[in-house]
Chains A and B, each alone.
Chain A
Amino acid sequence: MSTPLTAAEMLDREFLTFRAKLVDLAAALDRIDRAEGSVDADPRIDQLRRGLELLASPGDRRAERMQMAFSLPDEPTVAGGLSS
């Protein structure tokens, strides 16, 4: 199925939404920094950092790659053997 809008139309329409989401994320990380205690050893912080790197990386299917970055490793399943 096609994507009816052009890239320029999409950017025009969504730029402020994208900007707001990035600022919201930046503010959330600032909030954690300001709070008492440290979460540097929490693996979820590392996951978030890797997610941010992925966001800035080239290539398509960023959403799919982001999902995999937050997924359990692909190990042999209880149902028997690794899926094909």
Chain B
Amino acid sequence: MNFIDPHIHIASRTTDDLATMARMGCLVVAEPAFWMGYDRSGVNSFFDYFRQLTEWEPKRCANFGIRHYAWMGINAKEAENVGFAREVIAELPAFLDRPTVLGVGEIGLHKCTKNELATLEGLVDLALSRGEQMLFHTPHLEDKYKGTRMILDLLAGDSRTDRSRVCIDHCEEHTIGLALAAGYWAGLTLYPTTKVTPERAVDMIEMYGPDRILVNSSADWGPSNPFAVPDFMFTMRRRGHDEAAIRRIVYENPLEFLRQSRHFDFV
């Protein structure tokens, strides 16, 4: 069965990973801007990275028949320096106009500080003023519930927000209900230790239904699995769900969400 991974950091994956993903049925990936794991030396470092996501990674994926799209933004872990962030935000429109860019993401909160929130407000304003789709990173572990509520508060306070074009990602058992009840898409990230397992993702889909749920690997340079979506498909099948139900989650739902972007031209 074919699938789409709507959140994966391809820049961290090897060519062998891409080949295996393609053999497993991956047709499309969406790569949000991420944190490199160390502080950048200047704003030009961001721009080089944005070029990587919009020029080099699409070529690497195309070698294996995988369509590559990207989200542009400043990750929450890089949002603490507000002045630095403003310089990057000022240049983001040029990258948002690139032909494979889906919108603004992944943006959000990490430790829920005032500075992170100030940067996030700037990014959300940019997205809403341009009619861009948004992909939100929610914090990890003990900060997740509080951070998710802060993000939902921020969006609820802006009448320009079209909730059907926003994904609240990395949802878990205590936050998925908040995102879905408010009308947003909810992302479930299959990631060892800090997010959800395939079994728990299937549990949540059984409890909340298949509408507006995306499943992704978020595979990056940390402990993660670029084949997590196929693992999830296997788990759904093993739990007795039919092929149509599996396809809905791993193919039709991401298509429905991503097609709302003016640059998403996969058919």
Question: Is A30 an interface position by the 8 A CB rule?
Answer: no
- Check B239–A83 contact: CB distance below 8 A: no
- Check B241–A83 contact: CB distance below 8 A: no
- Check B143–A77 contact: CB distance below 8 A: no
Q: Given contacts A3-B206, A4-B240, A70-B142, is CB(A77)–CB(B174) below 8 Å?
A: no
Taking CB atoms, residues of chain B closer than 8 Å to A3 are: 206, 239
Contact of B150 among A66, A70, A79 (CB under 8 A): A79
Taking CB atoms, residues of chain B closer than 8 Å to A68 are: 145, 174
Question: Is B130 an interface position by the 8 A CB rule?
Answer: no
- Check A79–B153 contact: CB distance below 8 A: yes
Measured CA separation A82–B47 after assembly (Å): 37
Question: Is B165 an interface position by the 8 A CB rule?
Answer: no
- Check B174–A64 contact: CB distance below 8 A: yes
Chain B interface residue count, Cβ-Cβ cutoff 8 angstroms: 33
Chain A 47-84: CB-based contact to B (< 8 A → 1; otherwise 0): 00000000000000101101110111011011111110
Question: Is A1 an interface position by the 8 A CB rule?
Answer: yes
Q: Given contacts A71-B144, A72-B143, is CB(A83)–CB(B149) below 8 Å?
A: yes
- Check A74–B154 contact: CB distance below 8 A: no
Contact of B142 among A1, A72, A81, A82 (CB under 8 A): A72
Taking CB atoms, residues of chain A closer than 8 Å to B153 are: 77, 79-81, 83
- Check B117–A63 contact: CB distance below 8 A: no
Chain B 139-182: CB-based contact to A (< 8 A → 1; otherwise 0): 00111111001101110110000000000000011110110000
Contact of B146 among A70, A71, A80 (CB under 8 A): A71
Taking CB atoms, residues of chain B closer than 8 Å to A77 are: 112, 146, 149-150, 153
Taking CB atoms, residues of chain A closer than 8 Å to B145 are: 67-68, 71-72, 74
Q: State the A residues within 8 Å of B (CB).
A: 1-5, 61, 63-64, 66-68, 70-72, 74-75, 77-83
Q: State the B residues within 8 Å of A (CB).
A: 112-114, 117, 141-146, 149-150, 152-154, 156-157, 172-175, 177-178, 200, 203, 205-206, 209-210, 239-241, 245
